Amino acid sequence: MTTPYKRLDKAQAAVLLVDHQTGLLSLVRDIDPDKFKNNVLAMADLAKYFELPTILTTSFEDGPNGPLVPELKEAFPDAPYIARPGQINAWDNEDFVKAVKATGRKQLIIAGVVTEVCVAFPALAAIEAGYDVFVVTDASGTFNEITRHSAWDRMSSAGAQLMTWFGLACELHRDWRNDIEGLGTLFSNHIPDYRNLINSHTKFTS
């Protein structure tokens, strides 16, 4: 009667980054810009660190939505990049769905702007298509808390799992012994409190 435990597996997961564009980002007001920028870049670093297949897509880059933020393009120079000619739901774009299928993965991690559209629409479509969907709530942004709550409620009711980038990283990594330094560096670069802990620890133990 309840959502079972769907556990992320780095061999089964792919990442979809949807419409993190320079214009659209000015619409995001449910999360502070410094924090949001950090979360999106953390999500990108995470995808690279775990070598997850990653797909980039944008909507109308030549219009007011603006270009993809350069850091994401630089982070994934070889990733499929679908500049959608008009489809608002990325899942309506055949190339996008093909790219997803080409990954061979069944667990889709989705982040984007804005949450109730660019994230929720492909999330709902992917669930319908049989995928397990993990929404990165803190690397997705929208207008305000009402739009956010509505989006989260709609996706959660449909069976999507709401997660945040730190939880994703931990669930994918499973065991610190797989690579202490790698995961530590990811956290140090994106969690100031953790960086401070590491710096204090290093000083006192060296």
C-alpha distance across the termini of the chain, in Å = 53
The rounded distance, in Å, linking the Cα atoms of 31 and 37 is 10
The rounded distance, in Å, linking the Cα atoms of 7 and 122 is 20
- Active-site option among 118, 126, 168, 172: 118
> Least distance to a copy of itself from the beta carbon of 179, Å?
10
> What are the C-alpha distances in Å from 62 to residues 19, 95, 171?
13, 19, 38
171: contact with a copy of itself by CB under 8 A: yes
> Least distance to a copy of itself from the beta carbon of 81, Å?
15
DSSP state of 195: H
Q: Is 118 a catalytic residue?
A: yes
From the list 45-53, 75-83, 100-108, 151-159, the region that binds a copy of itself by CB under 8 A is 151-159
Using CB under 8 A as the binding rule, the residues of this chain from 51 to 90 that contact a copy of itself are 59-61, 63-67, 69-70, 85-89
> Least distance to a copy of itself from the beta carbon of 104, Å?
23
189: contact with a copy of itself by CB under 8 A: no
Size of the site for a copy of itself (CB under 8 A): 91
> What are the C-alpha distances in Å from 22 to residues 135, 168, 205?
21, 25, 43
Catalytic residues: 118
